[in-house]
Structure 1
Amino acid sequence: MQPAQGAGAHQLAGPARRIRAGTSTPRIKVASTAHRQGRAGAQLRAAHQEAFDEARFTALPLPELLDRMVDPILAFNVAHPGFKALFARTDMPAGLADAALPVQTALPARVEAMIAARAPRRPAAERSRTALVGIRIFQAMVPLVVAAEGAERAAMTRELKRALHGYLSDTIG
């Protein structure tokens, strides 16, 4: 084994020193990670299925619809705070990234279907744009909700729903 090279190498121990020195490659427990992420991916799909129950799209007032759409997805994000960050990485093995791909690609279509059910006369381009902006509002608020605790998390969740309601009420309210 070669001695560690470079600044700070003496501070590293064992495998970390070998990796830094270029004498070893990191070993990732892909199988166990894939299993955990596969299970989390299944839970994410279940949260999305609950959130996008099409039978509710036209039957509920907007505030209740937002509760039923937002709450299960937020609950998943709170339970798995690193899941989306993990799958946002461009260097992930294909098998791991595949677990989130169906939900990621289906999300805009599901939101657009909800908008179409509530506002069928809106032009398709407007429905697509509204879906995209609504998704981005949600995505922007998720880190704030996940980072908060207790009463502050509940307050941030209310703010998220208030923002979505304000944006969507003219279109689908």
Structure 2
Amino acid sequence: MLASERQDGGMAWDWLAPVVTGVVGVVGIAGSVWTAASARRSQAEVLRDQVEAESRRAYLADKRVTYARLLSELTTYVHTSVQQKNHQPHAEANPEEVARYNQLLEENSGQMITVGQVIAEAELIAEPAVVELARELAAELLALAMEGEDGDRAGELLTALIQAMREDLHPGHGLLAPP
């Protein structure tokens, strides 16, 4: 008599335990493979998110540097313009005064060129509103230096420029944005 046959003529259930064990093993292996694939996908997503966050951080750092440089160059231009205006020679000016004025005029012209270059750099990274305000402020400062108007409009433009820069760097925070 075969081992798989019972004495009463029916089949023995001896084969059930090994089959169930085999099926559970296959399901366990499939689950492990699926879990590993999901983990790899999750790791790839986390890595992509980290790269995107680092890129954003670097982009904002570049903006901060550009904005700081723009404000610095505009401030230097104001300083050289004031010096030029204060040293404007009179009709009876001696040659040293005229030479000093010409030197300041040259420095001021060079500084305005630098301001223009920094505005051009800002065009690559800044929001259009920031660039437009920077252009308006530079034009106003030039008019101020050339024509001697009051600086109220320049002050308003500077405040608006700083506000636009802060809003660009920290949307929704405006003037309250951290440095």
- Same fold by TM-score greater than 0.5: no
Query: Normalised by the size of structure 2, how large is the TM-score?
Result: 0.35
Query: Normalised by the size of structure 1, how large is the TM-score?
Result: 0.35
Higher radius of gyration, 1 or 2: 2
- Name the structure, 1 or 2, with higher relative contact order (CA <8 Å, separation 6+): 1
